[in-house]
Chain A
Amino acid sequence: MKVPFWRQAAAIAGKDLRTEFRSGEVVMITVPFGAAALMLVPLAVGTDARLLADIGPGMYWSVVLLFGVLVTVRQSAVDGPAQADLLGLLGIDPAARFVGRVMATGVLLLIFESILAPVALALYDTDPSGWWWLLAVIPLVALGLALLGTLAAGIASSVASATLIPLIVVPLSVPMLLAATQVTEGLQIDATIVGWLLLLVVMDLLLAVAGVLSARTLQETTR
């Protein structure tokens, strides 16, 4: 019996999330390290409140993107050869596998961003005006990074080189970093932010199309 695409994707996402919550890799390791990274800068800069408020949005998004890469390449998201064979022989659509993995990683990145946001607000004393726009930016960045990380992990495993992942993700996430930072800063000075939000949407769309279209090729090349 052919299982519908979205049920396959949901089952993959459910399995990935259950595996992750049991291993605690993101919540127990990556989140504390991300929070620690946010804390180190104020310690180094000192008590210059104005400077901290100015660099706050940039620091927050830098930490989200750099540590977010670790969320996308977490151990619980990696299939060993036996599991990869199993998934192939269950007749799972590779695109559903990609989408399911993106869904799970996106949820974890949302959790990661949501925990770090109040930490950054408290430490950097950033003006929270217009914060509701973050309800759009945070999911867009989570989705973009999840798409980018999952795609990069697929490319890296197809050439058997995990070291490629940061080399692919970090440069390609720069537009996301710029857009997210500009939106957050723009809110404080009443600058227009629509263009930056559009950039995030376009990046997410392009990455989604690239991931879905290349899923079969990457899966078969990996074998």
Chain B
Amino acid sequence: MLDTVVALRALGVRIGDSPILRDLDLDVVGGEAVGLIGGNGSGKTTLLRVIATLLVPSRGDGTVLGADLRDESRYEVRHRIGLIGHTPSLYPNLTLEENLAFVARMTGVATGRVGEVLDQVGLGLARGRSAAACSHGMQRRVEFARLMMTRPDLILLDEAHAGLDPQAGDLVAHLVAGVRERGGAAVVVSHEHRRIAPLVGRFVELRDGAITADARPRT
């Protein structure tokens, strides 16, 4: 079990003259799943990118998986972070199988795992289809398969439920439960807080770049 996965202190992000995140304090520990909610433009995606080490904060301090967000140690933990963003990261001219095989080769996972995870997400028969010919929902499933294959310690999901059928929603639940069991953590961004409530043990609400609520749902 990882002790502290994410620790942010007085963290702020400015883009140009606009403050996007302001004085954020947030801790996420191993085995925890946090739901990040808030309206459009509240800073949810920016916060997720900071936690993913893809965006360096303008002020404040923070660590993710023990690496400082401001120094080069953050590069060393990136392979332990799995992000699914708004836009699918698949290469459209490659088949679903080739997309995952590329990830497998880059992460040292046996390419034999590709077929297994595609079967797990219900795309075993579509493995030879190009990503461009797949629906948004199918592409999302491939992203889930990628995280099942690489088994990151920190999973970040940005509106992962959007436009998905209930079966695909179960895959999100499976992913989140899996990382918690491994002692890692998950941060799940969604507008539909009712849909993610069964997955997470805690909700953090953002408004205008600041945390306005941090609560655990009543059981």
Could you mark each residue 207-223 of chain A with 1 if its beta carbon is under 8 Å from any beta carbon of chain B, else 0?
00000000010000001
Partner of B78, one of A1, A3, A91: A91
For B89, the chain A residues whose CB sits under 8 A away are 82-83, 85-86
Partner of B93, one of A1, A3, A19: A19
B125 at the interface (CB under 8 A from A): no
- Chain B interface residue count, Cβ-Cβ cutoff 8 angstroms: 26
Q: Tell me the complex Cα distance, A91–B86, Å.
A: 21
Taking CB as reference atom, which chain B residue is nearest A10? B105
A85 and B107 contact, CB distance less than 8 A:
no
Q: Tell me the complex Cα distance, A85–B84, Å.
A: 10
A90 and B93 contact, CB distance less than 8 A:
no
A23 at the interface (CB under 8 A from B): yes
- B-contacting residues of A (Cβ < 8 Å)? 1-3, 7-8, 11, 15, 18-19, 22-23, 76, 80-83, 85-86, 88-92, 216, 223
B102 and A11 contact, CB distance less than 8 A:
yes
B82 and A89 contact, CB distance less than 8 A:
yes
Q: Tell me the complex Cα distance, A22–B99, Å.
A: 14
Taking CB as reference atom, which chain B residue is nearest A81? B87
Given contacts A82-B87, A85-B85, A85-B89, 10 further A-B contacts (CB under 8 A): A2-B108, A7-B105, A8-B106, A18-B98, A23-B93, A82-B88, A90-B107, A91-B78, A91-B79, A223-B55
For A15, the chain B residues whose CB sits under 8 A away are 91, 94, 98, 102
| 9 closest Cβ pairs, A-B complex | A91-B79, A1-B108, A86-B89, A82-B89, A22-B93, A82-B87, A11-B105, A90-B106, A19-B93
A1-B107, A2-B108, A85-B89 are contacts. A90–B52 as well, Cβ < 8 Å? no
Q: Tell me the complex Cα distance, A22–B79, Å.
A: 29
A interface majority secondary structure:
helix
B186 at the interface (CB under 8 A from A): no
B81 at the interface (CB under 8 A from A): yes
| Total A-B contacts with CB atoms under 8 angstroms apart | 68
Q: Tell me the complex Cα distance, A91–B88, Å.
A: 18
- Least CB distance, A185 to chain B, in whole angstroms: 41
B54 at the interface (CB under 8 A from A): yes
- Least CB distance, A9 to chain B, in whole angstroms: 11
For B107, the chain A residues whose CB sits under 8 A away are 1, 3, 90-91
For B78, the chain A residues whose CB sits under 8 A away are 88-91
For A92, the chain B residues whose CB sits under 8 A away are 106
B52 and A3 contact, CB distance less than 8 A:
no
A3 and B105 contact, CB distance less than 8 A:
yes
For A8, the chain B residues whose CB sits under 8 A away are 106
Partner of B103, one of A1, A19, A76, A90: A90
- Least CB distance, A104 to chain B, in whole angstroms: 13
User: Can you list 8 A-B pairs with a CB-CB distance of less than 8 A?
Assistant: A3-B105, A8-B106, A11-B102, A15-B94, A18-B93, A85-B83, A89-B52, A91-B78
A85 and B54 contact, CB distance less than 8 A:
yes
B79 and A89 contact, CB distance less than 8 A:
yes
Partner of B54, one of A3, A19, A88: A88
Q: Tell me the complex Cα distance, A146–B86, Å.
A: 32
Q: Tell me the complex Cα distance, A110–B178, Å.
A: 47
Q: Tell me the complex Cα distance, A204–B94, Å.
A: 31
For A82, the chain B residues whose CB sits under 8 A away are 85-89
For A86, the chain B residues whose CB sits under 8 A away are 83, 89, 103
For A7, the chain B residues whose CB sits under 8 A away are 105
A3 and B94 contact, CB distance less than 8 A:
no
For A19, the chain B residues whose CB sits under 8 A away are 91, 93-94
| B67-100 contacts to A (CB < 8 Å) | 75, 78-79, 81-83, 85-89, 91, 93-94, 98
Q: Tell me the complex Cα distance, A73–B212, Å.
A: 45
Taking CB as reference atom, which chain A residue is nearest B156? A89
Q: Tell me the complex Cα distance, A76–B91, Å.
A: 9
Which has the most chain A C-beta neighbours within 10 Å: B81, B102, B130?
A: B102
B54 and A80 contact, CB distance less than 8 A:
no
